[in-house]
Structure 1
Amino acid sequence: MTVEQGNRKAGTMSRRRLLGVGCGLAAGALLPWRGAFAYSDAKTLGFKHLHTGEELSAVFWSQGRYNEDGLAELKHIMRDWRTEQTIEIDRMLYQLLFDIRKKIGTDQPFQIISAYRSPKTNLQLRQNSDGVAKKSLHMQGMAIDVRLPGYSTKGLQQLALKMHRGGVGYYGRSDFVHLDTGRPRSWVG
């Protein structure tokens, strides 16, 4: 073999190798499972607001970080519907709700009874009810009152208590559970 033939053969091997690697990468990018794998960490929450009738399913976490568009949608549905005011909602509250749905094994949307409350709304509710805290965590975007269709509120309360990740209030007569990201504590209202 001449030097020229050896150089040509070496060049052909390099080009073949390069072409093979390129084809492998291109084929891998087109495989459906690769796309699904890249998004397997997506976290979605679903809600139905019982006072406004609004329904929402939003991705709040994907590709290793918070999804700002999804957070904005969640912030809107969790607004004080009486005053239309919004506040940043504690992201750990979203995580808690997501983890509850995951443990239960459901994709049912939470029914919102109450989420963010402006100080004005909280004061009005305190004047008309015994069960509203003066310094409610609802006013800080750290609390929500919910039901979960197909799952008992008592069961929801028990699961949240076992998770030990914040306050859990059980309101059996009104059929909802209060969940917050404050210090762990519990009560029956």
Structure 2
Amino acid sequence: MYWFNGRYLSDSLQRLNHLLRDHRRNEVFPINARLFDLLYVLSARLETARPIEIISGYRSPATNAMLAAHSDQVAKTSLHTFGMAVDIRVPGRELKDVYKTALNLRAGGVGYYPVSNFVHVDVGRVRTWWGS
């Protein structure tokens, strides 16, 4: 629980920030709380009690630059580096259904990566794209 009685719970947010840290550099960064709200609503709309799998959360600028140097599918100014994006899977749900449901929320960007088997969601401007 990260929200109670009309407010975000600081201790819970700190634990979530640690969970979504850049694991390559072990750097923790404050994740935008709207991203947790988005994941909560997405989970409810998908009608699943199973945990959402986070493929990638926060990325330090150094990690993002390294990944961008090896792939044209990593944005040089990725919202991951601002704590505003995650790449996810939802066990028991088809990837295309996760993508369509996230799109319908119109809460930010949604990228579909069927070959890599994840959906990107963020709390930036509303937009969509397909990757591999």
Please report the TM-score for the alignment, with normalisation by the length of structure 2.
0.97
Q: Which residue of 74, 77, 102 maps to 2:19?
A: 77
Partner of 1:160: 102
Percent identity over paired residues: 47
Q: Distance in 1 between matches of 2:55 and 2:107?
A: 20
Q: CA deviation at 1:77?
A: 0.6
Partner of 1:102: 44
- Give the paired residue count: 131
SS in 2 for 1:131: coil
Q: Distance in 2 between matches of 1:182 and 1:69?
A: 25
Partner of 1:118: 60
- The equivalences for 1:121-140 within 5 A come to 121-140=63-82
Q: Which residue of 81, 100, 120 maps to 1:178?
A: 120
- The equivalences for 1:53-92 within 5 A come to 59-92=1-34
The structure whose Rg is larger is 1
Q: CA deviation at 1:166?
A: 0.3
- 62-71 or 140-149: bigger deviation: 62-71
Instruction: Indicate the structure whose relative CO is greater, using CA pairs within 8 Å and at least 6 residues apart.
Output: 2
The one-letter code matched in structure 2 to 1:77 is L
Q: Distance in 1 between matches of 2:94 and 2:72?
A: 24
Q: Distance in 1 between matches of 2:12 and 2:91?
A: 23
Q: CA deviation at 1:104?
A: 1.5
Segments of 5+ residues of structure 1 without an aligned counterpart are 1-58
Which of the pair is proportionally richer in helix? 1
Partner of 1:12: none
